[in-house]
């Protein structure tokens, strides 16, 4: 009995090399997608894990817009019957006493004193030692950098010393620099027993904040104390897990998914090429089947089963490979961002999604061949055979349509990108023919007559060869565009940071700045201006879907520092003076989900309030996950009174010397000195690290496209075995046949590279002129990626051609001649 | 010119071997036009492939123009084929992407660059096969008879020692076949071209000096134009 699955299996494996290439393309395509899905899900998990660790079991916290407040203020909460647990914390800035020559800024440390190191409101995964409420708790990164272990003594300047009782994993509460370079601009963080810190600082009943847990949602208690604390120096906020203020990893994944989508598109094209050729080759077979009573559906079903088998095999191999790649990608990503984090690979849901995509995408790309197989005409096929050739008129029409689509270059809209890529496909036959003519002398010089024949052969299956070159071109152009964006980004960010940082140095104190401090700063030779920066933080707010989020609200004023950019910056700053109005940074606005003119709900020190969103602005502060309010409104209506930050403008680039002076003069309460250069360096170093990932991805996309080239050349070789047999019979040596196929591969590769670079130039031009990008990307192509694209594009095409050329040279002359 | 001694050829199909040629001995003189006839599977096409160096014999030797094909490497056989042999196939086997001129020039290109003299020779050949004016026409736009003329010109372009033709008129009607065979005769008479032609068609075989009949892998009978019974033999087929 005829088993349709068995017949389908025989059909797809009939040509083993072609089958292998197609399978390899599916495997690579699906493994790319799987790796992105796994890495995305795992990254989300990692950030959720650390967010939850940060939140622990706390529901609310009571903070102050002053440095500390008396513990007595929160005693009614501590005594409330619905409160099940509390954690008291006091922050104090100081310096390590270290051996060797380390500057004050390198030695700065924030000690958080907690009343119970084992509190359920504090999650500290212990690596070594124990949480004994007696000693110092060090994060692993700090312990490694300081060379300290459990039992070692740590000394703090002007305070005292204590033994290390535990070393713990990374948590946000203890985020510390992992190298001395980072230590220049950020403080270490350690935990000490509250009593010990109070003893060292003399702040006997003071705390910086109290976290607490309630029975149920604690909403009544929250609202009650929100009212009670109105006009007081303390305020109550829900504890919210919101990491968007400290990272923009979601935006990054949009970028990587684009590359994964590109790989699926290339794989799909390879699948289409293979199955379409197979259907054309078997048209006679299908015609005979139909003449024997097979319906259109049963013929289509046969091809559908073939694709299902291929898709299932590709998925079975590609998905596990993708999980492994996802793991590698995670390691690369975390090292690029210098996150000292641990992760557990989340592969279950991504695997399920990847399997679905893996089984569906090859079939989707095969729908036309499947339909075409079923529609085979018995009479026409048996009479004319299976030859399908496009006319030169069709190519001309395509070229006209391609040129028309190119006009989208002048339209500033995302659809222009799709139009340019479509025009690449439509114009490619002309490009390939033109390039064949241009390169004829080079190919003749390299391969003699084999080169001449190669240039002519490309016109035999012009559509297929052009599509193969076009796919390589699209891969190269999209990756070059992405790498241009990545390469331009540091410059764009630098510009944005310089425009919106508000000064040259931002100095943060743990206590509000006094007029005396400001006067002292004005007396510095290098300082030309000192402006306060008021930052209300943390402030919780709600999206339009009533989900709680958390950000900072910065104050702005007419004569204050420039903290954002907008075409109507002055208008907006004036408009902010109206009551209950706020400006949102771009990311905060997107996360909020409302429209300009609508109101955003915030939990302010003066209780729950609604503010009309009057505009969206660009700012480097928290990558746009921030709000801006008029300084008077922030004080009077919002209820935030103090400034912990000052923005200094310098008359020369004396950042490092002023840094030392600041730490020396204000070391007792200074918590951070961050220059505009520090900010630029931190923001752009991660982006520069991304370049390496893009580099690898560019190479992988070219590898995938080259598999397409190998597949196309192999299909061409099998289709032309009669002609190759004739050439061999007429005296063409095996080497001459090999050279001919190699030259064809070179032509496709070169056309892909040339077309890709040309398309990349157009895409980068569109991007650089786009108002949406606001001049973020300059018109240039990244040289290193360009060189890689040229070398990899041509050399991998030669490799692909070499595989096909081996097959061509081994064709048996006699059986090839019989094909005629 | 051509000496075939004790030539045999076996083909393996799975575990089974089939002996297609069984110890063939044959001599062909320079300038001779020989037709090889026989029923399907008698070994005539296999003999032509062995003579063309497309395959190697299991046993025996082939000597063409004082050179043994047996001892040659694959590459040497290819170059020998390019320089000394010309092929004409039943289905023309032209290269569809090339023009008339380019198809004819193909064996010369394979051998190196074209000289002015070679270009002149190509032009003469085009004229002599009656295709003047069609030099730059793509071959797939020609009729069957014209395509076979291109194939003949291509086979003769390298001035081969031997022209091997496999059913050259198999796809043509009688009138066209006669035109092609007349061309063969023309080159045979004018240039003393040695021709070995495999055919099923006794009409075509009638143009040859000698007919070699194959049966079951051996030479069954050889009839020469010089023999008295040649005309009688042809007539018996024509009847």
pLDDT tens digits for range B61-73: 999 988 999 889 8
Distance CA(A299)–CA(A176), nearest Å, equals: 65
Whether B79 contacts chain A with CB within 8 A: yes
Q: Which of A460, A723, A732 has its CB closest to that of B110?
A: A732
Instruction: Note the pLDDT tens digit of each residue in B109-168.
Output: 887 767 888 888 899 889 988 888 898 998 888 988 899 899 999 998 888 889 999 988
Q: Kindly list the distances between the CA atom of residue B213 and the CA atoms of A286, A298, B181, in Å, as whole numbers in the listed order.
A: 41, 50, 19
Measured between beta carbons, the chain A residues lying within 8 angstroms of B110 are 449, 727, 730-733, 736
Q: Between chains, do A730 and B75 touch, taking CB under 8 Å as contact? A: no
DSSP, collapsed to helix, strand or coil, labels residue A698 as helix
**Residue in B closest to A724 by C-alpha:** B95
Q: Between chains, do B110 and A813 touch, taking CB under 8 Å as contact? A: no
Q: Which of A460, A731, A817 has its CB closest to that of B93?
A: A817
Q: Can you give the residue ranges of every domain in chain A? A: 6-43+254-388, 59-238, 428-500+684-820, 501-682
Q: Where are the beta strands (DSSP E) in A618-733?
A: 626-630, 645-650, 670-675
Distance from CA of A5 to the nearest CA of B (A): 26
Neighbours of B45 (CB within 10 A): 19
Distance from CA of B200 to the nearest CA of A (A): 17
Measured between beta carbons, the chain A residues lying within 8 angstroms of B97 are 453, 456-457, 459-460
Among B13, B102, B106, the residue to mutate for chain A (most A Cβ within 10 A): B106
Distance CA(B130)–CA(B124), nearest Å, equals: 10
Q: Which of A459, A725, A731 has its CB closest to that of B111?
A: A731
Neighbours of A609 (CB within 10 A): 18
**pTM exceeding 0.80:** no
pLDDT given at position A390: 58
Neighbours of A173 (CB within 10 A): 20
The three-state DSSP-derived secondary structure of A245-267 is CCCCHHHHHHHHHHHHHHHHHHH
Mean pLDDT of the region B11-40: 89
* DSSP secondary structure of A527-581: EEEEEEE-EEEEEEEE-TT--EEEEEEEEE-TTS----B-TTHHHHHHHTTSTTE
Whether A688 contacts chain B with CB within 8 A: no
DSSP, collapsed to helix, strand or coil, labels residue A448 as coil
Report how many Cβ contacts below 8 Å link chain A to chain B.
Answer: 69
Q: Between chains, do A730 and B87 touch, taking CB under 8 Å as contact? A: yes
Burial of A254 (0-12, 13-18, 19+ CB in 10 A): exposed
Measured between beta carbons, the chain A residues lying within 8 angstroms of B78 are 728, 731-734
Whether B83 contacts chain A with CB within 8 A: yes
Q: Kindly list the distances between the CA atom of residue A397 and the CA atoms of A393, A423, A748, A812, in Å, as whole numbers in the listed order.
A: 6, 12, 22, 40
Distance CA(A771)–CA(A490), nearest Å, equals: 19
Interstrand relation of A527-533 and A83-95 (parallel, antiparallel or unpaired): unpaired
Measured between beta carbons, the chain A residues lying within 8 angstroms of B75 are 733-735
Q: Which residues contact A147 (CB under 8 A, 6 or more apart)?
A: none
pLDDT given at position A402: 92
Q: Between chains, do A723 and B95 touch, taking CB under 8 Å as contact? A: yes
Whether A7 contacts chain B with CB within 8 A: no
Measured between beta carbons, the chain B residues lying within 8 angstroms of A730 are 81-82, 87, 106-107, 110, 154
pLDDT given at position A1: 47
Measured between beta carbons, the chain A residues lying within 8 angstroms of B153 are none
Backbone φ and ψ of A396, nearest 5°: -65, -45
Q: At what angle do helices A449-457 and B100-111 cross, to 10 degrees?
A: 140
Whether A182 contacts chain B with CB within 8 A: no
**Residue in A closest to B78 by C-alpha:** A731
Query: What residues in chain A have per-residue pLDDT under 50?
Result: 1
Distance CA(B208)–CA(B185), nearest Å, equals: 8
Q: Kindly list the distances between the CA atom of residue A776 and the CA atoms of A248, A682, A683, B41, B236, in Å, as whole numbers in the listed order.
A: 17, 18, 15, 77, 93
Distance CA(A243)–CA(B35), nearest Å, equals: 90
Interstrand relation of A83-95 and A136-139 (parallel, antiparallel or unpaired): unpaired
Whether B10 contacts chain A with CB within 8 A: no
Distance from CA of B208 to the nearest CA of A (A): 24
* DSSP secondary structure of A460-518: TTHHHHHHHHHHHHHHHHHHHHHHHHHHHHHHHHHHHHHHHS-SSEEEEESSPPPHHHH
**What does the angle CA A439 – CA A445 – CA A446 come to, to the nearest 5 degrees?**
90
Q: Classify the phi-psi angles of A775: left when phi > 0, otherwise alpha if psi is within -120 to 50, otherwise beta.
A: left
Q: Between chains, do B74 and A734 touch, taking CB under 8 Å as contact? A: yes
Q: Kindly list the distances between the CA atom of residue A44 and the CA atoms of A50, A125, A234, B18, in Å, as whole numbers in the listed order.
A: 10, 20, 33, 69
Measured between beta carbons, the chain A residues lying within 8 angstroms of B87 are 729-730
Which CATH fold topology does B2-238 show? Rossmann fold (3.40.50)
Distance from CA of B24 to the nearest CA of A (A): 21
Contact A214, A60 (CB under 8 A): yes
Whether B72 contacts chain A with CB within 8 A: no
Complex-level ipTM = 0.83
In this predicted structure, the answer to whether residue B105 has a pLDDT above a threshold of 50 is yes
Q: Between chains, do A449 and B110 touch, taking CB under 8 Å as contact? A: yes
A 439-468 residues inside an 8 A Cβ radius of B? 448-449, 452-453, 456-457, 459-460
B125 vs B225, more confident: B125
b/e B59-98 (16+ beta carbons within 10 angstroms → b): ebebebeeeebeebeeeebbbbbbebbbbbbbbbbbbebb
Distance from CA of B233 to the nearest CA of A (A): 32
Among B46, B75, B91, B93, the residue to mutate for chain A (most A Cβ within 10 A): B93
pLDDT given at position A645: 94
Token readout for A361 is: 């995408």
Q: Between chains, do A736 and B87 touch, taking CB under 8 Å as contact? A: no
Whether B93 contacts chain A with CB within 8 A: yes
Measured between beta carbons, the chain B residues lying within 8 angstroms of A448 are 109, 112
**Whole-angstrom Cα Rg for chain B:** 18
Q: Which residues contact A484 (CB under 8 A, 6 or more apart)?
A: A760, A764, A767, A777, A780, A781, A782
Whether A813 contacts chain B with CB within 8 A: yes
Q: Which residues contact A197 (CB under 8 A, 6 or more apart)?
A: A90, A92, A111, A113, A203
Half-sphere exposure of B147 (CA within 13 A, CB side): 20
A 724-753 residues inside an 8 A Cβ radius of B? 725-736
First to last CA, chain B: 35
**Whole-angstrom Cα Rg for chain A:** 33
**Residue in A closest to B114 by C-alpha:** A449
**What does the angle CA A39 – CA A43 – CA A49 come to, to the nearest 5 degrees?**
145
Distance from CA of A429 to the nearest CA of B (A): 16
Q: Which residue in the block uniquely carries the two structure tokens 């300047």?
A: A157
């Amino acid at each position: 009995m005829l088993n349709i699955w068995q017949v389908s299996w025989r059909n797809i494996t009939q040509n083993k090399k072609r089958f292998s290439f197609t399978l390899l393309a599916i495997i690579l395509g699906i493994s790319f997608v799987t790796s992105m899905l796994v890495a995305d899900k795992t990254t989300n998990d990692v950030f959720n894990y650390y967010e939850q660790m940060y939140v622990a079991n706390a529901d609310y916290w009571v903070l102050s817009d002053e440095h500390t407040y008396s513990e007595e203020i929160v005693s009614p909460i501590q005594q409330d019957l619905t409160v099940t647990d509390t954690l008291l914390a006091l922050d104090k800035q100081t310096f390590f006493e270290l051996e060797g020559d380390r500057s004050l800024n390198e030695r700065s440390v924030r000690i958080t004193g907690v009343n119970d190191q084992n509190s359920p409101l504090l999650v500290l995964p212990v690596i070594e030692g124990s949480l004994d409420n007696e000693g110092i708790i060090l994060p692993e990164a700090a312990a490694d950098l300081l060379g300290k272990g459990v039992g070692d003594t740590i000394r703090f300047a002007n305070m005292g010393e204590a033994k290390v009782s535990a070393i713990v994993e990374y948590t946000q509460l203890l985020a510390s620099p992992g190298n001395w370079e980072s230590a220049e601009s950020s403080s270490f963080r350690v935990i000490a027993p509250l009593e010990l810190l109070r003893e060292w600082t003399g702040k006997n009943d003071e705390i910086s904040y109290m976290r607490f847990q309630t029975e149920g949602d604690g909403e009544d208690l929250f609202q009650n104390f929100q009212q009670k604390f109105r006009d007081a120096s303390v305020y109550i906020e829900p504890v919210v897990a919101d990491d968007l203020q400290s990272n923009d990893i979601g935006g990054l994944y949009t970028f990587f998914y684009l590359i994964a989508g590109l790989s699926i598109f290339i794989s799909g094209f390879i699948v289409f090429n293979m199955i379409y050729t197979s259907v054309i080759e078997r048209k006679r077979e299908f015609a005979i089947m139909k003449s024997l009573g097979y319906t259109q559906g049963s013929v289509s079903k046969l091809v559908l089963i073939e694709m299902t088998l291929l898709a299932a095999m590709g998925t079975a191999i590609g998905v596990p490979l993708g999980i492994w790649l996802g793991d590698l990608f995670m390691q690369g990503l975390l090292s690029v961002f210098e996150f000292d984090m641990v992760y557990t690979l989340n592969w279950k849901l991504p695997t399920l999604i990847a399997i679905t995509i893996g089984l569906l995408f090859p079939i989707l790309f095969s729908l036309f061949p499947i339909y075409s197989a079923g529609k085979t005409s018995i009479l026409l096929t048996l009479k004319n055979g299976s030859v399908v050739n496009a006319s030169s008129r069709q190519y001309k029409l395509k070229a006209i349509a391609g040129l028309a689509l190119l006009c989208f270059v002048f339209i500033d809209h995302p659809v222009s990108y799709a139009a340019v890529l479509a025009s690449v496909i439509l114009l490619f036959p002309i490009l390939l023919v033109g390039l064949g003519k241009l390169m004829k002398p080079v190919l003749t010089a390299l391969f003699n007559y084999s080169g001449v024949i190669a240039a002519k052969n490309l016109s035999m299956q012009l559509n297929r060869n052009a599509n193969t070159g076009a796919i390589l071109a699209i891969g190269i152009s999209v990756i070059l565009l992405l790498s241009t964006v990545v390469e331009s980004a540091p410059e764009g960010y630098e510009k944005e940071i310089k425009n919106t940082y508000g000064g040259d140095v931002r100095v943060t104190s743990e206590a509000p700045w006094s007029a005396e401090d400001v006067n002292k700063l004005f007396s510095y030779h290098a300082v030309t201006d000192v402006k306060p920066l008021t930052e209300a933080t943390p402030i919780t707010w709600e999206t339009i879907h009533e989900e709680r989020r958390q950000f900072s609200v910065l104050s702005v004023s007419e004569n204050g520092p420039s903290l954002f950019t907008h075409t109507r910056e002055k208008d907006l700053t004036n408009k902010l003076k109206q009551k209950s109005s706020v400006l949102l940074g771009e990311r905060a606005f997107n996360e909020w989900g409302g429209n300009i003119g609508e109101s955003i709900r915030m939990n302010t020190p003066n209780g729950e309030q609604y503010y009309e969103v009057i505009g969206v602005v660009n700012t480097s502060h928290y990558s746009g996950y921030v709000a801006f309010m008029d300084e008077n409104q922030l004080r009077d209506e919002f209820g935030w009174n103090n400034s912990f930050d000052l923005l200094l403008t310098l008359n020369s680039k004396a950042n490092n010397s002023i840094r030392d002076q600041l730490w020396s003069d204000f070391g007792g309460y200074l918590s951070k000195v961050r220059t505009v250069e520090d900010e630029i360096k931190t923001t752009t170093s991660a982006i520069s690290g991304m370049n390496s990932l893009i580099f690898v991805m560019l190479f992988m996309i070219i590898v995938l496209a080259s598999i397409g080239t190998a597949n196309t050349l192999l299909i061409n070789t099998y289709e032309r075995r009669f002609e190759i047999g004739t050439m061999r019979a007429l005296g063409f040596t095996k080497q001459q046949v090999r050279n001919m196929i190699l030259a064809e591969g070179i032509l496709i590769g070169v056309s892909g590279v040339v077309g890709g670079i040309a398309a990349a130039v157009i895409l980068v031009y569109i991007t650089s002129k786009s108002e949406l990008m606001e001049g973020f990307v300059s018109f240039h192509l990244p040289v290193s990626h360009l060189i890689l694209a040229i070398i990899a594009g041509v050399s991998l095409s030669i490799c692909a051609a070499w595989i096909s050329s081996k097959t061509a040279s081994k064709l048996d002359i006699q059986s090839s001649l019989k094909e005629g | 010119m051509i000496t075939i001694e004790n030539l045999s050829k076996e083909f393996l199909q799975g575990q089974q071997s089939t002996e297609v040629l069984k110890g063939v001995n044959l001599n062909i003189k320079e300038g001779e036009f020989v037709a090889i006839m026989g029923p399907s599977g008698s070994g005539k096409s296999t003999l032509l492939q062995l003579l063309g160096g497309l395959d190697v014999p299991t046993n025996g030797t082939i000597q063409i123009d004082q050179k043994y094909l047996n001892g040659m490497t694959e590459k040497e056989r290819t170059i020998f084929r390019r320089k000394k042999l010309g092929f004409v196939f039943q289905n023309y086997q032209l290269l569809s992407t090339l023009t008339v001129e380019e198809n004819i020039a193909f064996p010369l290109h394979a051998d190196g660059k074209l000289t002015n003299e070679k270009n002149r020779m190509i032009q003469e050949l085009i004229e002599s096969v009656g295709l003047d004016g069609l030099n730059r026409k793509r071959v797939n736009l020609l009729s069957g008879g014209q395509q076979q003329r291109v194939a003949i010109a291509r086979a003769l372009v390298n001035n081969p020692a031997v022209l091997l033709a496999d059913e050259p008129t198999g796809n043509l009607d009688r009138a066209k076949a006669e035109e092609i065979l007349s061309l063969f005769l023309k080159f045979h008479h004018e240039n003393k071209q040695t021709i070995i032609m495999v055919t099923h068609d006794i009409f075509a075989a009638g143009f040859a000096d000698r007919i070699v009949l194959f049966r079951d892998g051996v030479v069954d009978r050889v009839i020469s134009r010089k023999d008295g019974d040649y005309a009688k033999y042809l007539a018996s087929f024509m009847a």
